[in-house]
Amino acid sequence: MSIAMPAVDISRAITRISHEILERNGGSDSITLLGIPTRGAHLAKRIASQIAQIEGREVPVGTLDITLHRDDLRMRPPRGLAPTLIPTQGIEGRDVILIDDVFYSGRTIRAALDALGEIGRPRTVQLAVLVDRGHRELPIRADFVGKNLPTSRLQSVKVHLSELDGIDEVLLEEEAVISQ
């Protein structure tokens, strides 16, 4: 097991992603941040507060649970649902930034796009992730990446955030994951 990103790297990555989001969208007027539970939701809050510091105003931030849209529901035991909280102004015509912790097969993001389609029609959808570990199974890419982390499929990537785990770190573990 090795530390792929210590706390200081995570903090820098969040600062950089926040700036990149503002640069790409020409400010914070049109953007809505949606975190994918569990850890993506916390990352979204951090990016939102970072953007608020830079811009001097709050941006709408919410969460989007994608469980009911997953394509692997039949292959796993039933799982609980996390809350979906859409900001009051909705997503219609907004630039929605989806935020997740680890970007892997791309299936979570596919499910997220389906889930978004049921809520409204954003102007654009962009994707920000803390770690991109590769091995895409779908034609989906990230717009903002904290760190590109080359991995093998046998490794597992664990993101710990202080809100939930008491510490900020990204770990790369060598153990074989249970095959999908």
Partner 1 sequence: MKHLLSIEDLSYEEALSILDTAHEMARVSDGPVKKLPTLRGRTIVNLFLEDSTRTRISFEAAAKRLSADVINFAAKGSSVSKGESLKDTAQTLQAMGTDAVIIRHSASGSAHWLAHSPWMNGSVINAGDGTHEHPTQALLDAFTIRKHLCGGAGDLGGMNVGIVGDVLHSRVARSNVLLLSKLGANVVLIAPPTLLPVGVESWPATVSYDFNREIPKLDALMMLRVQQERMNDYFFPTSREYAQYFGLNRDRLTLLKQNSIIMHPGPMNRGLEITAECADSARSVIVEQVKNGVSVRMAVLYLLLAGSSEIASAVNAEVNA
Which of these, 19, 177, 46, 14, lies nearest to 104 by C-alpha position?
Answer: 177
Phi-psi region of 27 (alpha: psi -120 to 50; beta: other; left: phi over 0): left
Question: Nearest approach, Cβ of 102 to partner 1 (angstroms)?
Answer: 20
Question: Nearest approach, Cβ of 64 to partner 1 (angstroms)?
Answer: 11
Residue 9 or 114 with smaller CB distance to partner 1: 114
Taking the CB of residue 77, how many other CB atoms lie within 10 A of it?
Answer: 5
Amino acid present at 141:
R
Pairing of strands 169-173, 156-160: antiparallel
The C-alpha atoms of residue 140 and residue 160 are separated, in whole angstroms, by 25
Q: Which residues bind partner 1 (CB under 8 A)?
A: 65, 68-69, 73-84, 114, 117-120, 178
Question: Nearest approach, Cβ of 5 to partner 1 (angstroms)?
Answer: 28
Cα separation of the two ends of the chain: 22
Residue 65 or 168 with smaller CB distance to partner 1: 65
Residue 41 or 129 with smaller CB distance to partner 1: 41
Question: Nearest approach, Cβ of 68 to partner 1 (angstroms)?
Answer: 5
Residue 78 or 139 with smaller CB distance to partner 1: 78
